[in-house]
Amino acid sequence: MERNLYERLGGEEAIAKVVDYFYNELVLKDASVNHFFKNTDMEKQLLHQTKFISYALGGSRTYEGKSMEKAHGGLNIQPSHFDTIAKHLHDALVHFGVAEGDITEALERVASLKEDIVHK
Name all domains of the chain by residue range, CATH numbers in brackets: 5-117 (1.10.490.10)
Residue 63 has pLDDT above 80, yes or no: no
What does the pLDDT read at residue 120?
A: 62
Residue 24 has pLDDT above 80, yes or no: yes
What does the pLDDT read at residue 60?
A: 75
Q: What percentage of the chain exceeds 70 in pLDDT? A: 98
SS3 category, 45: helix
What Cα–Cα distance (Å) separates residue 17 from each residue in 30, 53, 71, 73? 19, 12, 23, 27
Residue 6 has pLDDT above 90, yes or no: yes
Distance, in Å, from the CA atom of 20 to the CA atom of 41, rounded to the nearest integer, reads: 13
What does the pLDDT read at residue 68?
A: 85
What does the pLDDT read at residue 91?
A: 98
- Residues marked as binding? 48, 72
- Residues marked as binding for heme? 48, 72
